[in-house]
Structure 1
């Protein structure tokens, strides 16, 4: 059956399930070439959707069907990788332990005024960054746009604010 399968020509007239099964080795090859080693099933699913789109939109006079499938699958995988990269750039998960620490500290001390004291030690812009990031849920790029700063400046300032909060909290404990 393997030799018959290799000799078989891929065609958009074939049932989709047959086409999808036939291109599985191609999908695996694309995933490996794109260096996808985690979330393999997620990207395989994206590839399957791309195969379906290619199968649905195929126009045989315009070119070889297998090449069209390859291009569609690789394009969708790269697009998804690009989206993921952009997401990680704009929404880099930073440690929230400082905010959690403040919260836990307040609960343990039962002193809600304490947080107001700490916040009053911050500059207006620092408070605004914290509020936009943690309360409003803004991304780094949205905060940068709101405050007229660069993306890197917002990230650096947030890091400095976290350090400052840790210092303020540890000085209050003593």
Structure 2
């Protein structure tokens, strides 16, 4: 155990250098711990016949830190996407209620959530396709597709039920 404590003391500047090099400014203590664990693993797995310990420790620490960054970014992206999706669903529900006085509920029930989203943002707020895409963090082509299919459905519904409007 004393042997690792000496190694940890000697290579702690390397861990701090790696944190600085990777531009890590949040959760530094967590990355110090990741670096120390990686250093311990490197000290256990090191084979002197294959090269210098400094190089092996450097690559091991860097690899563990990059893996952790990648994993946390993936989780953050997944959580953010879910939050945006939930927010959009809540907005859609509120906006559909305001559209029911203008468009028959039977027609609104045939729309997908994306089509309802386009219809409500366009009619309720008068937003353009580009504005809707920017608000929802999606491509303009996606919103254009929603618009196209919604208009086709609306035309077909009107042909079948002109008295509803």
Aligned CA distance change for structure 1 residues 122 and 79 (closer, same or farther; 3 Å): farther
Unaligned runs of 5+ in 1: 1-13, 106-116, 127-153, 161-174
Aligned position for 2:138: 156
Any unmatched runs of 5+ in structure 2?
Answer: 95-104, 115-135, 144-165
Aligned to 1:19: 7
- CA positional deviation for 1:47: 0.9
**CA offsets 1:60-109 (integer angstroms, 9 cap, x no match):** 1111111111110011111111222223333325355566789xx9xxxx
- Number of aligned positions between the proteins: 114
Cα RMSD for the two superposed structures: 4.0
Match of 2:27 in 1: 39
Matches within 5 A, 1:68-147: 68-92=56-80, 94=83, 121=109, 123-124=111-112, 126=114
Deviation of 1:43 after TM superposition, in Å, equals 1.1
Change (3 A) 1:16 1:86: same
> 2: distance between equivalents of 1:124 and 1:100?
14
- Name the TM-score, length of structure 2 as normaliser: 0.51
TM-score (norm 1): 0.49
